[in-house]
Amino acid sequence: MSDIRTFHARKGRVSAAERDGIDRLLPVFGVAAVELDPQTIFSGLPIILEIGFGLGDATIEMALAEPERGIIAADVHTPGVGRLLNRIDELGLTNVRVLHGDAIDYLRTFVPDGCLNECRAFFPDPWPKARHHKRRLFRPDLVHLMAQKLEPGGYIHVATDWADYADAMRTVCAAEDELTLVADSAEPLRHRPTTKFEATGLRKGHDVRDLLYQRLTTTNGQR
């Protein structure tokens, strides 16, 4: 199961501005394929990994609202990567870095255990067909991986507009020994901005759930 990708192979047209953003700015604001050093990437600020930022508008809002935390924003979708890089540059943001690639590969290969303050995934691909559930980001092996990479007391924050995926998330996260549920809410938690995919879901009449989990502060099952 571990090599099953969680994303669609989307083509998507890359505009000239997005291509230029990637060529010029990925070397500046991109995340290098080397072991993550929490002391240097954002000068020791707590680190958030956002898996699947899409177009990145919500990422920018969160980075502006939380200058005291650093965001590694990951997506495989090239147009969104170019767009986010251009926005970071225009706004002069120093607390966002961009990973153009598979966040799971990055977590496995380059992120030391216990070094993230938060993993967030807003409206991860729902993979609604039963035969595709194995592609979901919130499946046991990947939730375990995320939990391992959190510092004690660190958070997983996820939002979805698919009720059955929310149920599956609850089941998978409840089975992960290292995690405890903090909140299960019909309102956005922790000032989460509305995202593009969320807006589409709301127009279709979907209900949105935010789930917040925390890694236990000790490893023997006690908090």
Ligand X SMILES: C[S@@+](CC[C@H](N)C(=O)[O-])C[C@H]1O[C@@H](n2cnc3c(N)ncnc32)[C@H](O)[C@@H]1O
The residues of the shown chain that bind ligand X, judged by CB under 6 A, are 6-7, 51-54, 74-77, 102-104, 122-125, 137, 195-198
Query: Could you give the CA distance from residue 86 to residue 19 in angstroms, rounded to a whole number?
Result: 10
The active-site residue, picked from 3, 20, 125, 210, is 125
Q: DSSP states of 152-212 as a string?
A: EEEEEEEEES-HHHHHHHHHHHHT-TTEEEEEEESS-STTPPP-HHHHHHHHTT---EEEE
Residue type at position 217? T
Q: Which is nearer to ligand X, 122 or 213 (CB)?
A: 122
Q: Which is nearer to ligand X, 108 or 216 (CB)?
A: 108
- Which residues, other chains included, contact 171 with Cβ-Cβ below 8 Å and sequence gap of 6+? none
CB of 127 to ligand X, least distance (A): 10
Q: Which is nearer to ligand X, 102 or 216 (CB)?
A: 102
CB of 174 to ligand X, least distance (A): 23
Q: Which is nearer to ligand X, 52 or 82 (CB)?
A: 52
* SS3 call for 2: coil
Tokens of residue 180, six digits: 């405890």
Residue type at position 10? R
Place of tokens 């995934």: 121
Q: Which is nearer to ligand X, 164 or 177 (CB)?
A: 164
β-pair type (47-51, 70-75): parallel
CB of 85 to ligand X, least distance (A): 15
- Catalytic residue list contains 141: no
CB of 65 to ligand X, least distance (A): 16
- Which residues, other chains included, contact 120 with Cβ-Cβ below 8 Å and sequence gap of 6+? 48, 49, 50, 51, 155, 156, 157, 158
C-alpha distances (whole Å) from 104 to each of 66, 138, 219 are 24, 12, 23
CB of 83 to ligand X, least distance (A): 12
Which residue's CB atom is positioned nearest to ligand X? 52
| Residues with catalytic roles | 125
